[in-house]
Amino acid sequence: MRKISEYMYGNRAFQQSYVKTNNQKLESLAKSGQSPHALFIGCVDSRVLPNLITDTGPGDMLVLRNVGNFVPHNEERSQETSVASALEFAVRILGVKEVIVCGHTQCGAIYTIYSDLDKDAFPHLASWLKQGEKLRARMGETGGRFESKEMLLRKAEQVSVQLQLENLLTYPFIKEAVENRTLSLHGWIYDIETGTISSYDEESDSFHSIDEVIPGGEK
């Protein structure tokens, strides 16, 4: 297990390597402010590092992380405003062009939704994961039968991303931007074991690997 001193030494290494190589970019960001192209909504899971898995750097992407990469429905924003405020900041102030909801395999939030959580021992987590009730209902509507709990969880991770995309559209300013084609929404699943990303296609109602979305390794 790493000690806090190791993280501090890590910052020293960062200063000696990345900062020295990219000092002009960092100075520009400090003086001119930020204008990220996308908002990345991901899970707090320590195995999912947004900038690492997308090969992006400072100023490229705004990042919002919470347990389960959830986006509460607009009608529930009065109970949980951190996500809503981040959406307003990203879309209305910074003018991002893309919003990415990125779920991942082996998600602890999804696993917990399908487990018995001690609500008295974990009151805040239990309250947040109430959003999973909609996920379980949607999964029940699919009528799918799964050979194992692992298969059920992998499907639930995907369906959860779809639900978050639907919830995004309950915010009027996001729906308006999408309709005006100034904003695009994307649903991803990151595979922790392979490092690959699959993207949701609304037309086929399925997820496709990055090689299918951008064949030939094109960017």
Average pLDDT per run of 10 along the chain, which is 219 residues long? 88 95 96 97 98 97 98 81 95 98 98 95 95 92 80 96 98 98 98 97 92 66
User: Based on the domain organization, do 125 and 104 belong to the same domain?
Assistant: yes
pLDDT at 39: 98
User: Based on the domain organization, do 9 and 95 belong to the same domain?
Assistant: no
pLDDT at 192: 97
User: Based on the domain organization, do 108 and 195 belong to the same domain?
Assistant: yes
User: Based on the domain organization, do 65 and 6 belong to the same domain?
Assistant: no
- The predicted model scores a pTM of 0.93
Looking at residue 75, the DSSP 8-state letter turns out to be G
pLDDT at 79: 66
User: Based on the domain organization, do 112 and 188 belong to the same domain?
Assistant: yes
User: Based on the domain organization, do 144 and 52 belong to the same domain?
Assistant: yes
| Residue partners of 110: CB distance under 8 A and separation at least 6 | 68, 103, 132, 135, 153, 156, 157, 160
159 token code pair: 């369906």
161 token code pair: 């991303």
CATH number, domain of 86, equals 3.40.1050.10
User: Based on the domain organization, do 194 and 148 belong to the same domain?
Assistant: yes
User: Based on the domain organization, do 29 and 43 belong to the same domain?
Assistant: no
User: Based on the domain organization, do 6 and 95 belong to the same domain?
Assistant: no
User: Based on the domain organization, do 67 and 12 belong to the same domain?
Assistant: no
State the DSSP H helix or E strand holding residue 60, giving kind and residue range, or none if neither: none
Question: Are the beta carbons of 72 and 133 closer than 8 angstroms?
Answer: no
User: Based on the domain organization, do 95 and 84 belong to the same domain?
Assistant: yes
User: Based on the domain organization, do 170 and 125 belong to the same domain?
Assistant: yes
119 strand-pairing partners: none
Segments forming the whole domain that contains residue 193: 36-217
User: Which backbone phi and psi does 154 adopt, to 5 degrees?
Assistant: -65, -40
pLDDT at 211: 81
Structural domain count, the chain: 2
